[in-house]
Amino acid sequence: MKVLVVGGGGREHSLVWKLNQSPRVTKVYCAPGNAGIAREAEVVPIDVTDIKALVDLALDEGIDLTCVGPELPLTLGIVDAFEEAGLRIFGASKAAAEIEGSKVFTKDLLAKYNIPTGSYKVFEDPAEAKAYLKEVGAPIVVKADGLAAGKGALVCQTIEEAEDAVRLCMEERAFGDAGNRVVIEEFLVGEEASFLAFSDGKTVLPMATSQDHKPIFDGDKGPNTGGMGAYSPAPVVTPELFDQTMNEIMIPTVQAMASEGRPYKGVLYAGLMIRDGKARVLEFNARFGDPEAQPLFMRMDGDLVDVMEAVIDGRLDQVELQWQDDATICVVMASGGYPGDYEKGKVITGIDEADALHGVKVFHAGTAEKDGKIVTAGGRVLGVTARGKDIPQAIERAYEACALISWEGAQYRKDIGAKARKFL
């Protein structure tokens, strides 16, 4: 069968890599892809938001299954458009993707169904929002309601910072219409983990545990990014916490979405804050995590196509997922200056040498090919992913591989996976 992956980041490279391992797949397409994906799939230069062109591509090429990486096309209704055209597609419908597309929707849903999360209040008026900040004090979190490319959650240590955040969203309109409403949310402390599951609208099939590293610098310092590294399994999610998360968060959320007339099909990704052995929801995403997908797919046994088809056909109850005992870790190498301004077009060396190391796979994110060379083309550039018999060995291999790769200004965290050590 022919499959199409929509997107062009590290997550999509790992999807292409995993789908290519399926004995049922004869050809993988990716739109728009990147330089690494171009070596493993046919890349087509269509933007992820050009849904009509993607539908036409799938019809023209006889694509049997499409899989969507990023959130934006999901919230724009790519799944609905493909289904209307009679095409098979894996991902959340527009109505279901609202769980990522609107923080107001999600907080209201969690409150209505008593699913554990921090307390919050919604504002449409900046003056009222600021008055409330004075009442509750800091630390506090201000979030733009809509999608803001991962930049819309502002963790504020002082009331002044929080007022600035309200101004940024609502008066300066830094995130456009996404900031028409803000959620002001209780600041939660603890350790974060990512909890991903497949859902066919009824059955929830959890993936292995994983943990992201959002801040740019070691020790979780500096501004948040899309994610600077991830690993699996994440021992902070103990078996008890895993069961609690399934029973109090994941299953109730899928049931709630069904009750709301928004059956949830695809990947449900809960960002959790864990404290004293209890998990609460920070946010939901309607897709695989990036970079969590990279270490997860490296550990996942079996045919991903079978799982995706079971989701589409509503028979996930018949599927069992198997995970290798190995640990995996992905270290993201980024452009100098990211998550702020950065230059593109820097020549990257050492990728092939790193890739050749035992147990290592270098997934590309923001890369392009120019004059036969691989150059940087984005903030997050590579996801250097390695397996090991345990987390320390996986860490050692990943960093051995990173040391072989260089370009002008390259930066990466040196402590990915370090949080797991206290549990080992």
Residues of this chain that bind ligand GLY (CB under 6 A): 212, 227, 285, 289-290, 292
Residues 150-169 that bind ligand AMP (CB under 6 A): 153, 155
- Report the residue number, 15 or 154, with the smaller CB distance to ligand AMP: 154
Question: Which stretch in 53-61, 126-134, 182-190, 361-369 sits in contact with ligand AMP by CB under 6 A?
Answer: 182-190
User: Closest approach of Cβ 269 to ligand GLY, in Å?
Assistant: 7
Q: How far apart are CA 186 and CA 189, in angstroms?
A: 10
* Residue 118 within binding range of ligand AMP, rule CB under 6 A: yes
Shortest separation between residue 395's beta carbon and ligand GLY, angstroms: 18
Q: Spell out the residues 6+ positions from residue 275 whose beta carbon is closer than 8 angstroms to its own.
A: 188, 189, 190, 191
**Applying CB under 6 A, does 384 fall inside the site for ligand AMP?**
no
* Token reading at 410: 């390259």
Please report whether residue 413 would count as binding ligand AMP according to CB under 6 A.
no
Binding mask 266-285 for ligand AMP (x = CB under 6 A): -----x----------xx--
Stretch of residues binding ligand AMP (CB under 6 A), selected from 84-92, 180-188, 326-334, 415-423: 180-188
| Residues 309/313/319/324 CA torsion (nearest 10 deg) | 30
From the list ligand AMP, ligand GLY, none, partner contacted by residue 292 (C-beta under 5 to 8 A by kind): ligand GLY
Q: Which stretch binds ligand AMP (CB under 6 A): 20-28, 185-193, 245-253, 286-294?
A: 185-193
Task: Write down the least CB distance from residue 48 to ligand AMP, Å.
Answer: 19
Q: How far is the CB of 273 from ligand AMP (least distance, A)?
A: 6
Residue 187 in the binding site for ligand AMP (CB under 6 A): yes
> Is residue 399 a contact residue for ligand AMP (CB under 6 A)?
no
Is 81 buried (19+), middle (13-18) or exposed (0-12) by CB count in 10 A? Answer: middle
Judged by CB under 6 A, does residue 183 bind ligand AMP? Answer: no
| 129 is a contact residue toward ligand AMP (CB under 6 A) | no
Q: From the centroid of its chain, how far is CA 104?
A: 20
- Least distance CB 68 / ligand AMP (angstroms): 19
Q: How far is the CB of 155 from ligand AMP (least distance, A)?
A: 5
Q: How far is the CB of 276 from ligand GLY (least distance, A)?
A: 24
Rounded to whole angstroms, how far apart are CA atoms 370 and 174? 33
185 binds ligand AMP (CB under 6 A): yes
Residue 100 binding result from ligand AMP, ligand GLY, none, given CB thresholds of 5 to 8 Å by partner type? none
Q: Which option in ligand AMP, ligand GLY, none does residue 289 bind, with CB closer than 5 to 8 A by kind?
A: ligand GLY
- Closer by beta carbon to ligand AMP, 114 or else 324: 114
Q: In a 10 Å sphere around its CB, with 0-12 CB exposed, 13-18 middle and 19+ buried, how is residue 302 labelled?
A: middle
217 binds ligand AMP (CB under 6 A): no
- Are 324 and 299 within 8 A, CB to CB? yes
Closer of 48 and 170 to ligand GLY (Cβ)? 48
Residue 64 or 292 with smaller CB distance to ligand GLY: 292
Amino acid identity for residue 216 in this structure = I
Least distance in Å: CB of 225 to ligand AMP? 10
Q: How far apart are CA 305 and CA 309, in angstroms?
A: 6
Of these partners, ligand AMP, ligand GLY, none, which one is at the site of residue 185 (CB under 5 to 8 Å by kind)?
Answer: ligand AMP
Minimum CB–partner distance for residue 94 and ligand GLY (Å): 19
**Span from 79-87, 179-187, 256-264, 301-309 in contact with ligand AMP (CB under 6 A):** 179-187
Binding residues for ligand AMP, rule: CB under 6 A, are 118, 141, 143, 153, 155, 185-188, 192, 214, 224, 271, 282-283
